[in-house]
């Protein structure tokens, strides 16, 4: 699979999107800080969504490669078989949590 090249130079990308991405990083930091300040932070740290965010942040620190693909892979359901029933399931949660057959 070939990697698509950007039509913009690296400098143009920095100049045009730095501030919006700065805001996104600050929002993630604030999200994690709010969880840490909550009374039930220890329990929240065990949540698969919290763990997925931490993993994604770790992927961002990779020196190069397909960060987007690595993060998307972690957040996506890797199974190929449909679940027996979606009854009782909540709406999409944005991260994949392995569910055992007994959970359905």
Task: Determine, yes or no, domain membership for 71.
Answer: yes
Unique residue bearing structure tokens 């959970």: 103
Task: Determine, yes or no, domain membership for 99.
Answer: no
C-alpha–C-alpha distance, residues 86 and 90, integer Å: 9
Task: Determine, yes or no, domain membership for 9.
Answer: no
Quick: pLDDT tens for 32-91.
999 999 999 999 999 999 999 999 999 999 888 889 998 988 888 777 777 676 666 665
Helical residues (DSSP H) of the chain, grouped into ranges: 10-37, 41-44, 48-60, 67-75
Unique residue bearing structure tokens 């007994």: 102
Are 84 and 104 within 8 A, CB to CB? Answer: yes
**Number of independent structural domains in the chain:** 1
pTM over 0.75: no
Domain extent for 46: 16-78
C-alpha–C-alpha distance, residues 74 and 11, integer Å: 30
């Amino acid at each position: 699979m070939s990697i698509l090249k950007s039509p913009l130079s690296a400098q143009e990308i920095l100049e045009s999107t730095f501030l919006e991405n700065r805001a996104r990083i600050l929002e993630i930091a604030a999200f994690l800080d709010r969880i840490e300040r909550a009374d039930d932070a220890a329990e929240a740290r065990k949540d698969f969504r919290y763990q997925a965010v931490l993993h994604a942040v770790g992927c961002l620190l990779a020196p190069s490669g397909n960060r987007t693909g690595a993060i998307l892979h972690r957040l996506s359901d890797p199974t190929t078989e449909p679940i027996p029933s979606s009854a009782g399931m909540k709406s999409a949660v944005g991260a994949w949590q392995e569910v055992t057959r007994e959970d359905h």
